[in-house]
Amino acid sequence: MGLEQPFATRSVGVSRFIAAGLLAAGVVLGTPAAGAPTLVYDQVIGSSYPHAPGRLGNLLYLSVSGPDYGVASYDLTTGVGTTIDAPRMTFSAFPLVVGNQVFFRGVPADGDGSLGLYRVAGAGSTLLATTDDLGAAGTMRQVGSQAVFAFADPTHGNELWITDATVVGTHLLVDINPGGDSDPVFGPVINGVLFFSADDGVHGRELWKCDGTAAGTVMVKDIEPGPDGSAPSSFVATGSWVVFRASDSAAGTEPWKSDGTAANTVMIEDIEPGITGSSPIGFAKIGSWIYFQARRVLTGAEPYRTDGNVVEFIADINPSFGASSPEGFAEYDGLVYFQADDGVHGRELWRTNGTAAGTELFAEFEPGSAGRYVREFTVHAGALYFVVTGDEAFDDDLWRTEGTAADLTRIAVRPDFGSRAMGLYSDGTYLYFGANDGTQVGHELRRLTWGEESLELAYDYNTDNGGNAEQLTAYDGNIVGIAHPYATGRDLWLYDLADIESSRNLDELLDLFEDQMPVGAELVVDGSLVYFTSFDGDTGFEVAVYDGVEVHQLDVNPGPTGCTPSDLVVTDNGKAFFVGRDEASGNFGLYRITPPPSVAVGLVHDCGNDRPEQLTVLGGSVIFVNTDPDHGTELWTSNGTTTQLLADINPGTAGSNPQSLVRMGEHVFFTATRPDTGRELWTTNGTGFGTHLVGEVNVGPASSAVNQLTDAYPLLYFRASTPSTASW
C-alpha cells in the first residue's frame, strides 16, 4: 500500500549509495550510470596464514585461517593440501602432534562459547571433550601410549587429564587440588615420566611427576615448604635429568635440577647470592650445555650456560649494570646464535662459542639503537634461516646465512615489503613457511630448497577473497567502515580513496584493542567525527570518538565492565546520543556525548530497568521508545537538555508499544496500539500536537498489524492485513 509523503525532499546520502555497491570480495564503488561496479580495494587477498607446523609421518599439520580458523594438512610427498573437516573456529586452532595422533583445540563460532578438544581423524575430526576454560589443552605430552594434558570441568577445576584419542578414553587422570585448580604446567617427558609443576592447595606450586597413572602422579619435592611453593618453570631435559628454575626463601629464584627423586632435586648454583636470586630464563639445550639468561646486580641480565653440574658466565655484552637480555639461543655450525642488546646497537643478532672472547655481534639489521628482533632459528640444507622483525618496510622477513656476514641474505618473498614469514619447518629437502608475496595468492604455504631462486608456492589453502566490509560511510572524502579480514579480527577501517593501498586498520594505527568491533557494533559519521561503539580491554564495550587524529575512548562504567551501548545516533545539529547501562545502579539510560576537543559523556535521562529503544533522529532531537511505571511503553523525545513523554497514545500503564520508527523528511512514522484501533500507522513531527493516527487500514479494534515500514520517498511502503485481503 502506498502513502503520499508531501514533506520536504531528502537526498540519498553517500553512505547509502556506498552500501548498495558493497560486495563481500572487497570494497566496491559504482556510479548510477556505470552499470557494473568496479573493485576499488581487495582488502583480503585469499590468505590462510599457515603457521605452527607439526609433522606426523609424511603429513605436515598447520594452523590456518581464512573464512574461518582451523587445521590443514600438507602431504610432503605429493604436495597436496587438505583442510581438516571441523567446526568453524573463532581463533587459531593449533595442531598438537602427540605420538601417532594429532589433536587441536578451538571454540566453534556457532557454539555456546565452550572450547573443544578435537582429534584429527583422516580428513575429518572427532570432538573428545569440552570446557569453559579457554586456556585448557594448550600443551599435551605423550606418556606411554596416551596423551596427558591440562583440562577443566565444573567439578574438579583445571587438573591433569589423559586421553587415548577416543571419547570414552578422555577423562580426568587425577584431581591434584580437590576443590581448587592445580593448573599443571608441563615440562619434558624423560624415560616415560612427565615432569610438571602444579599446586595441590597445600604446598603451593611445586615439582611433580606422572607416569600416566593416578598412582604414579606424585609430588617430587616440596622445595619451598609452606603454601607459597617454589614455582618451578622453564623446564628442559638433559639426559635423565630435568633442569628448571625454582625459588626458595633462602636463595631466591635460581637454576635447579632433578632426576625425579627428592634427594636428587637440588639447586645447581646460587648465581646471585642472597634472597634476590638470578631469575634464570630461556633454557635451551645445545650439545652438552644448557644456555640461558640470568641476572646479577653487578652485570644485569647476561648469557650463562650449565652442564647440570657447574654454571659458567659467558660474557658481559652490555657492560656494567646494563642488561643485554639474551634470548632465543639456537645452534648452528658449532656456534650458538641468539639476540641481545649491547646498549649501542639495540637488539640484534649475536653468536658465541661459550666464551667471552668468542662472543660477538654477528649482524646489525637496523643501524642505531633501535635494533631488530630475530626469531624462529631453523637449520636447513647447511644454512641457518630465521625471521627478522621490527622494521616498518620489511617486517617479518625471512633471512639466511652460512655463518658469515658476507653471505647474509634476505629472502625477498615480497620484494617491496615485508612478507610476514612464520612457521619455519625443514623436512631436509625443503624449508616450509607461511609468507605473503603481495599478490592475489596472499599469505600461504611456501617452500624453498636453497635460496631465493628456489622459492615457490607449496599450497594455496584459501582461494576465497573478502574483507567482509560493512557499514561503509563517507568520511572526509574517504570511507570509514567495519571490516573483518579474519587474520586481524573485526575492526574499524579507514579507506583512503586517493591511495587505496594505504587503507588502514585503525586499531593498528591507534593501538586499539584487536578485534575491537564485535557483531552489533555501530558507527556514525558527523563531519570530521566518527562515533563508534567498540571493545577495549581496559574499558569493555563502550563508545569512542575518532577526530581524524586520535581516538577518544569514553567510559561510562570505569573499568573493564563496559556499558554495552546501543542506538548510537547523531542529530541534525550534531548532538550524539546512545543508550547504555550504569553498572552501579543497574539502570539503563539515555546518554549524550560532548564532542572533541573536550570529550565527555553525560547521563541525559535515567530510564530504569527497561532499555530505551529505536532512537530516531528528527531535527535536533531524538525520538525513542521508553517505558515508565505511569505510562507503560510510549514515545519519548529529548533534545539533550529536556527529555519528556512525547505523547501518551494509550493512556494508562499498558502503553501503546510503538514499533518500527522510520524518519521521512520532517516526520517520523511508526506503529502503535490502542484498544479502539489495534496496531495501526502513526506519525509525529516531534510535538505532542503533531503526533496522530495516519489512518486505520482495518477500521475498528481489530488490528491490521502494520509492520515492515520502508522509506521509499515520496512513498512509504508497509505490510498490513484486513479480513478481506489478509496480509498485503
Determine the average pLDDT of the residues in 398-408.
Answer: 94
In whole angstroms, what is the distance from residue 136 CA to residue 120 CA? 18
pLDDT for res 455: 94
Beta-strand runs (E) in 547-620: 551-553, 566-570, 576-581, 588-594, 600-608, 613-618
Determine the average pLDDT of the residues in 386-393.
Answer: 76
In whole angstroms, what is the distance from residue 18 CA to residue 627 CA? 36
Annotate 139-163 with DSSP letters as a single string: -EEEETTEEEEEEEETTTEEEEEEE
Most distant CA pair in the chain: distance in Å? Answer: 100
Determine the average pLDDT of the residues in 342-361.
Answer: 96
pLDDT for res 644: 97
Reading phi first (left if > 0) and then psi (alpha if -120 to 50, else beta), residue 46 is in left
- DSSP character for 595? P
pLDDT for res 724: 65
pLDDT for res 441: 81
pLDDT for res 113: 83
CB 481 within 8 A of CB 472: yes
CB 243 within 8 A of CB 185: no
Lowest-pLDDT range, 293-302, 306-315, 560-569? 560-569
| Angle subtended at Cα 65 by Cα 62 and Cα 68, rounded to the nearest 5 degrees | 125
pLDDT for res 378: 96
Task: Tell me: pLDDT of 413 over 50.
Answer: yes
Task: Tell me: pLDDT of 473 over 60.
Answer: yes
Task: Tell me: pLDDT of 185 over 50.
Answer: yes
Determine the average pLDDT of the residues in 44-50.
Answer: 69
CB 550 within 8 A of CB 510: yes
CB 657 within 8 A of CB 649: no
**Highest-confidence range of 345-349, 481-485, 516-520, by mean pLDDT?**
345-349
Chain mean position to CA 17: 32
Determine the average pLDDT of the residues in 503-513.
Answer: 58
Task: Tell me: pLDDT of 19 over 50.
Answer: no
Which residues are registered as beta bridge partners of 199? 205
Q: What is the pLDDT of residues 588-599, one digit of tens each?
A: 999 999 999 999
Annotate 440-466 with DSSP letters as a single string: TT-EEEEEESSSGGG-EEEE-------
Helices (H), 566-699: none
| Nearest CA-CA partner of 280 in 315, 244, 313, 248 | 244
CB 488 within 8 A of CB 43: no
pLDDT for res 92: 67
Q: What is the pLDDT of residues 143-163, one digit of tens each?
A: 999 999 999 999 999 999 999
Task: Tell me: pLDDT of 696 over 60.
Answer: yes
Q: What is the pLDDT of residues 633-653, one digit of tens each?
A: 999 999 999 999 999 999 999
Q: What is the pLDDT of residues 52-64, one digit of tens each?
A: 899 999 999 999 8
Torsion, Cα of 672, 677, 679, 683 (10° steps): -40
pLDDT for res 12: 25
Task: Tell me: pLDDT of 466 over 60.
Answer: no
Determine the average pLDDT of the residues in 677-681.
Answer: 95
Which residues are registered as beta bridge partners of 434? 422, 445
The more confident residue out of 712 and 469 is 712
Task: Tell me: pLDDT of 510 over 70.
Answer: no
The more confident residue out of 242 and 504 is 242
The more confident residue out of 610 and 501 is 610
Q: pLDDT band at 563, cuts 50/70/90?
A: very high
Burial class (CB in 10 A: 0-12, 13-18, 19+), 407: exposed
Burial class (CB in 10 A: 0-12, 13-18, 19+), 538: exposed
Quick one: CA dihedral 284, 286, 289, 293, positive or negative?
A: negative
Q: pLDDT band at 394, cuts 50/70/90?
A: low
Task: Tell me: pLDDT of 676 over 50.
Answer: yes
406: helix, strand or coil: helix
SS percent in the chain: helix, strand, coil, step 5? 5, 50, 50
Q: What is the pLDDT of residues 511-529, one digit of tens each?
A: 554 556 666 678 999 999 9
pLDDT for res 249: 96
In whole angstroms, what is the distance from residue 578 CA to residue 264 CA? 65
pLDDT for res 138: 83
pLDDT for res 15: 33
Task: Tell me: pLDDT of 494 over 70.
Answer: yes
Lowest-pLDDT range, 308-322, 425-439, 496-510? 496-510
Which residues are registered as beta bridge partners of 257? 243, 266
In whole angstroms, what is the distance from residue 595 CA to residue 576 CA? 8
Alpha carbon distance, N-terminus to C-terminus of the chain: 7
Task: Tell me: pLDDT of 11 over 90.
Answer: no
Task: Tell me: pLDDT of 685 over 60.
Answer: yes
In whole angstroms, what is the distance from residue 55 CA to residue 52 CA? 10
